[in-house]
Homo-oligomer: A and B are copies of this chain.
């Protein structure tokens, strides 16, 4: 149950279920964990941005980790990005003690130069220890930090414990090709590349050499089908299924309201009891809900899982 450069498949970015009053909904944590695993997820990623991690109290973060790791039966990656290395270290050590498979580290937004980014990961590894497998989160659209392929290569080669890239640069297809080119040329150690960005380019990312997805789209079962079909070489079928979902995926990928859409659909699928977000959160207007219903109805004509 550990991460490795050969890890592939779909790691579902788990939502964090709350009651309407903002309290953690622990029953739904179990239900949602089961939902992801039964959907075929290879692993889970918890305490990320879309998991409302910054809104959690420290003890809640550990409680969720304990509960999910204990129940999932698949590897669990925990986001440990923090403003300082003391908090990162203690969270990382604690979640690994609880049985996590690895941790994910995003660069803080103030980083600008190549040197700053490479140095930051060196300091982070020094802080958490060289024995914890970690994932680089490369997400310039939200984090405003731009990592070139050379920078990623330097981090991977500097740290044996770097086993995976969560790739969500945008656009990012050429970046995958470039990184895989480094590996073929023997210039970079092998790493696993799982793609985020709501899955909006997963169809082609798989063809460029990605190992799968790490994202929270409310139909993880579809992501798994696409990854599997692409691995089997069933290109057209993969695109057919993907294209059927694209209108809803696009709708869910809207910044700000995206999480509200995702939780709304997860609730309709029975995976969580309430679509409430802890404050400050976003919510859906009646118009938005009607649009989602319409998108689901249209999707259900091609994928019966959307008939809710």
Contacts and interface: CB of A to CB of B under 8 A. Distances in A.
Interface of A: 52, 54-58, 60, 82-87, 90, 109, 112-116, 120, 123, 126-127, 146-148, 150-151, 170-171, 173-174, 177, 200-201, 203-204, 207-208, 239, 242-243, 246-247, 250-251, 254-258, 278-280, 285, 287-288, 291, 298
A294 to B, nearest CB: 8
A112 B170 contact: no
Closest 6 CB pairs of A and B: A54-B83, A55-B84, A171-B254, A112-B146, A54-B84, A114-B114
Contact of A55 (B54, B86, B151): B86
A174 B288 contact: yes
A170 B250 CA distance: 12
A304 to B, nearest CB: 18
Given A171-B258, A207-B291, 17 more contacts: A55-B84, A55-B85, A55-B86, A85-B278, A85-B280, A112-B112, A113-B113, A120-B280, A126-B279, A171-B254, A173-B288, A177-B285, A203-B247, A204-B251, A239-B247, A243-B243, A246-B246
List the number of copies, as a whole number: 4
Contacts of A123: 279-280
B56 A287 contact: no
B247 A279 contact: no
B55 A174 contact: no
7 contacts: A57-B90, A86-B278, A109-B109, A115-B148, A170-B254, A174-B285, A243-B246
A250 B246 contact: yes
A286 to B, nearest CB: 10
